[in-house]
Amino acid sequence: MNQNIYVIGAARTDFKRNLKKEGRTLQDVIVEVGRDAIANAGLMPTDVQAGIVGNFAAGLYTRQLHLGSLLIGIDDSLRGIPTLHTEAACASGSVGVLNASLWIAAGLHDVVLVVGAEQQKTMSPAEGADVLAAAADWNVERSQYGEHMMPKMFARVADLYAQRYGLTEKQLSTVVLKNFSHAQLNPMAQMRDAGMTIERAMTACDSNPRFAPPLKISDCSQISDGAAAVVLVSEKFVRDPARAMKLLGFGHTTDALQLDRKSVPEFPMARKAAEQAYAMAHKSPRDLHAAEVHDCFSISELVAYEALGWADRGQAAALLESGATTLPRLRQAVGVGTNPAFSMPVNTGGGLIADGHPVGATGVRQVVEMFQQVCGEAGQRQVDGAETVMTFNMGGSFTTSVAMIWGKG
């Protein structure tokens, strides 16, 4: 990278919101969160030189596309800047962050605003599930898996993982309990008031059906409305190094679209993205103090532990059970180890399972969460000494993988 890249401002919405019930639109939250991020950075709209909107399926959920142009609603001074819309399924937001970073690294722009957003609560859950299925090979896999295609595909991942390495109901449910417990400390999390116990997470019932065995509703990420934004800048715009997070390294890979064409559950293209990020950052997995990973389903968090090099093959559950990936203050309540060999809390805000998953916003929201951790602004969920952190955002069935390592400015 020719120029260093920093995040100096961030904002997000409350993922509990229902935009349709509020009488608000996707454009409204893009403008809202964009303004908030610019103000959080201590900048004026006139400082912004380019903009990106990460979004997966606004054309299907809301019949609105041409999303880069919506940034102009933030302030009339933004008329004339270059904007674009990035789409890579659930990785749409992180691809937006990465593109903005490349613009800055190349010296094209010094200040880029990235907003990730999605409005999903515009249709029935069944209709919404079919929209989400567009993240996979709809023409082939829809007939193979049927309705609620994505949960069933990740159930297949869980089955294959269990056949190779072993996997228990309690281990999947511990991921769920950990992330719900983290969300209770996050005032913006969708499920902050929901509560969760290991018994509830493990029990299939009318309110928690096992509709994609072995996965239950509780193993799934949320249907969410929301937006998140970050302001990325070159070094010349870093006025307070104590409130800046530097991009140290990244990796971006793409695998075949169909799940059956991938190596499951190893997902070597996800591993390749992580290795690229570690190499560029000159860091190793044990250098990380906290991380955000793509837990669209409980099994995907465990798979990520191994793909990112945090655990050996088949040892993801052991890492979880050690307590290393749980906030220290919550380890006893979650029922994991209280004295792990190392500590690296994962999904400190609740992850997709409990913080929420407005698809296009997720990759940006991960960066917002890590920015707050690095700057010491995460409140009750603050990780002590969080100086080197990682985000891993994935689209489809580990089709697009974006790994980014961040450090103190």
User: For the segment 135-171, what is each residue's pLDDT rounded down to a tens digit?
Assistant: 999 999 999 999 999 999 999 999 999 999 999 999 9
* Residues, the chain: 409
- Work out the pLDDT band at 361, boundaries 50, 70, 90: very high
Q: Is 121 helix (H, G, I), strand (E, B) or coil?
A: coil
Task: Give strand pairing partners of 229.
Answer: 11, 115
Average pLDDT over residues 344-364: 98
- pLDDT of 2 reads 79
Which two structure tokens, joined as six digits, stand for 235?
Answer: 């070094």
Specify the pTM: 0.98
CA distance 229 to 245: 14
CA distance 149 to 127: 12
Topology of 6-123+224-241 in CATH?
Peroxisomal Thiolase; Chain A, domain 1 (3.40.47)
Average pLDDT value for the chain: 97
Percent of the chain's residues with pLDDT above 90: 99
- Cis? peptide before 214, omega within 30° of 0: yes
- pLDDT of 1 reads 59
Average pLDDT over residues 347-373: 98
Q: Is 217 helix (H, G, I), strand (E, B) or coil?
A: helix
Q: Comparing C-alpha atoms, which of 150, 271, 270 is closest to residue 219? A: 150
Pairing mode, if any, of strands 6-12 and 245-254? antiparallel
Percent of the chain's residues with pLDDT above 70: 100
- Work out the pLDDT band at 338, boundaries 50, 70, 90: very high
User: For the segment 245-304, what is each residue's pLDDT rounded down to a tens digit?
Assistant: 999 999 999 999 999 999 999 999 999 999 999 999 999 999 999 999 999 999 999 999
Average pLDDT over residues 306-333: 98
Q: Looking at the predicted structure, is the pLDDT value of residue 18 above 90?
A: yes
Catalytic residue selected from 294, 296, 357, 375:
357
Catalytic residue selected from 90, 220, 296, 375:
90
Query: Sign (positive/negative) of CA torsion 402, 179, 116, 406?
Result: negative
Average pLDDT over residues 383-400: 98
262: left (phi over 0), alpha (psi -120 to 50) or beta: beta
90 tagged catalytic: yes
User: For the segment 166-205, what is each residue's pLDDT rounded down to a tens digit?
Assistant: 999 999 999 999 999 999 999 999 999 998 999 999 999 9
All structural domains of the chain with their residue ranges: 6-123+224-241
Q: Looking at the predicted structure, is the pLDDT value of residue 75 above 90?
A: yes
